[in-house]
Amino acid sequence: MPAEVGVPTAAAEPVCVVQGLSRRFSSVVANDGVSVSIGPGEVFGVLGPNGAGKSTFVRQVMGLVRPDAGSIMLLGYDVVRRPEVASRVAAYLPQDDVAIGDLAPRRAVELTGRLRGMGRGEARAAAAALADELDLAETADRPIARLSGGQRRLASVATALVGDRRVLVLDEPTTGLDPAARRAVWSAIERRRAAGSTVILVTHNVLEAETVLDRVAVFERGRVIACDTPGRLKAAVSNDVRLDLVWRDEPPWDDPTVARLAEVSEQVGRRWSARLPTDVARAALGELTTGAALAALDDFTLATATLEDVYLALGGVAHDLERT
Amino acid sequence: MTAPPATGFGPAFAAVYAGQVSRARTARASLFFVATLQSLGLVLLLRGVVDDGRIAEKQHIVAGSVVLVVGFVALNLLAQRFGLLRAGGALDYYAALPVPPAAVVLGIAASYASFTLPGTAVVGVVGAALYGLPLVHLWVLIPAVAVSGAALAGLGAALGLLAPRPELATVCGQLGMTLVLFLGLVRAERMPGPIRLVRAVMPSSYAVDALAEAFARRPSFGAIAVDLAICAASAVATLTLATVAYRRAVAR
């Protein structure tokens, strides 16, 4: 059974309605009964770890992959029957930039605009405006392949934004970006939304999901395990907090609190992270900071639940969601 | 409900072509230089071998070397390019744009074919001068390069798009170029029967024959026209095949 589908709050017709979408690549199930409904002007997130089926989902929405089963209606057009229609109403940001790697960002944006039907002058003006908007002006005339990873991604984002499409399908737009560039992309997305565009944004970054998304579908092994606003999803696990510990050296294993935490935490090197009920976490931290274990602690934080906690609480098992 | 219109073939073709020209300036110039140098090396080396040879041999060496530039760029490099685009999922960039598939394939193929023109002109002029061939009908080089460029670019694109792995696309492209080389430099009459059959199905052979005829003292323009027409027909076939292969590769 697919997870319950969140419905846009506005009464307006949904922009994208996906029902029972399934796709398998030989023995691997990429999407399994995915159903979502995305409203106009929404920034809708597709969150999940690597391999959860996020990219396959958006590629089907863009008509780039034919589903084995299910339906996709995009602005009222049947994408399964007429895959080419998606490219006329939506812009897509793929994960790689090989096709435009030898071009300078300004040229790549201009040509993409022309391929979306803009006139030469119009496309040139749009490329200049996007270079300013995304702060690309300094690198706008150097081949994309010779830019840093973040600048390359920014150039690709610019190609997706040119042409003012009603729907933007962005597959991990901020991967590899520094914080300033990431904010520039988030602002650009917000401006498009304010102008009436609907955005479908794939991410495996929890901070991004909580910052820019109106609603988020959490993917796990090809299925949607939750779909709601980030706030409501977090409220579902609001009794839990995350306790993060960093040890200076070897943890004091003979300390009973440490031994107890060792059983419930994920451990990456000297970093421990545990999701615990608030009172349990508070008590554990009190014992650690007042006992002998404090000397071995390098750092500790107690934070409210994130979408990663939601993912784990819902049965997610992967640990490659980004937090920052 | 009527969907918004796609970008027309003409503007889409022009934008794809312009994009490839921009790419060539930054990334491909050195390879075009290598393509020209390879053919120049051939005409120089073979100069010693056929010094006292018949004029027909000389015509074919120069014509074959000219068409080899086309084979290197339009067949070999284009097969590699499409193999790379397909393997990396980069065809999604084009497939997610509202453009006719034929505009993408023809735009890229036409650009690669046209990149060969300067190199072929250099090899044609230098070759004719070295072998003492008349240059008066060198204008035939323009239609010969155009039709062989289109035919070999179609073949290169189809190989790159149909090869299951990019390494195989590279191997196919290089084998194709090797065929252009061996089948182009020697006259058909000097080849054994089965090889002559392979030569007959290779589009580049007709461009070589047309160009070789143009280097004659008194060329038969009827023969040139027939050869170019056959090459043009094979270009239609290979470009159609490439467009079908592209549609299949983008998996819609």
| pTM (predicted TM-score) | 0.82
Least confident of A213-217, A238-242, B112-116, B196-200: A238-242
Secondary structure of residue A63 in the 3-state scheme: coil
Q: Which residue of B has its CA nearest to A86?
A: B96
Q: pLDDT value at position B2?
A: 66
CB contact under 8 A, B97 and A115: yes
Whole-number pLDDT of residue B113: 84
Average pLDDT of chain A is: 88
Helix locations, A13-172, DSSP H: 54-61, 86-89, 105-115, 120-133, 149-161
Would you state the pLDDT for residue A241? Answer: 85
Which amino acid, residue B194? P
> Cα-flanking dihedrals φ and ψ of residue A6, to 5°?
-75, 145
- B251 contacts in chain A (CB < 8 Å): 64-66
**B-interface mutation test, from A75, A79, A98, A165, most B Cβ less than 10 A away:** A98
pLDDT computed for residue B142 by the predictor: 93
- Statement: residue A31 has pLDDT above 90: yes
Interface test with B, best of A60, A87, A93, A152 (most B CBs within 10 A): A87
Check CB contact of A81 with chain B, cutoff 8 Å.
Answer: no
Size (chain A), residues = 324
Question: Which pLDDT value is given to residue B1?
Answer: 57
pLDDT digits (tens, 9 = 90+) for A158-186: 999 999 899 999 999 998 888 888 999 99
Give A320 or B97, the one with higher predicted confidence: B97
Residue A97 has pLDDT above 90, yes or no: no
Given CB atoms, is A99 within the 8 Å cutoff of chain B?
Answer: yes
Using the Cβ of A66 and the Cβ atoms of chain B, whether some distance falls under 8 Å is answered with yes
The string of pLDDT tens digits covering residues A44-75 is 999 988 889 999 999 999 999 999 999 999 99
Question: Which of A161-165, B25-29, B169-173, B243-247 is the least confident region?
Answer: B25-29
Residue A7: the pLDDT is 42
- At B77-108, the pLDDT tens digits run 999 999 988 887 889 999 999 999 989 999 99
Query: Residue B10 is inside which H or E element, if any?
Result: helix B9-23
pLDDT digits 0-9 by tens, A129-153 = 999 999 888 888 888 888 888 899 9
Three-class secondary structure assignment of B140-176: HHHHHHHHHHHHHHHHHHHHHHHCCCHHHHHHHHHHH
Nearest to B26 among A86, A96, A143 (CB): A143
Task: Select the residue of B5, B28, B90 nearest A99 (Cβ to Cβ).
Answer: B90
Q: Is the pLDDT of residue A4 over 60?
A: no
Percent of chain B with pLDDT over 90: 54
pLDDT in tens, B28-68: 677 778 888 889 998 888 887 776 667 888 899 999 999 99
A191 against A9, higher pLDDT: A191
At residue A24, the pLDDT reads 94
- With a pLDDT cut of 90, the percent of chain A lying above it is 55
Q: Coil, helix or strand for A314?
A: coil
How much is the ipTM here? 0.82
Predicted local confidence at residue A295, as pLDDT = 86
pLDDT at res. A145: 85
Name the token pair of A161: 């934004």
B82 to chain A: closest CA residue: A99
What is the rounded average pLDDT of the residues B201-205? 91
Largest CA distance in chain A: 72
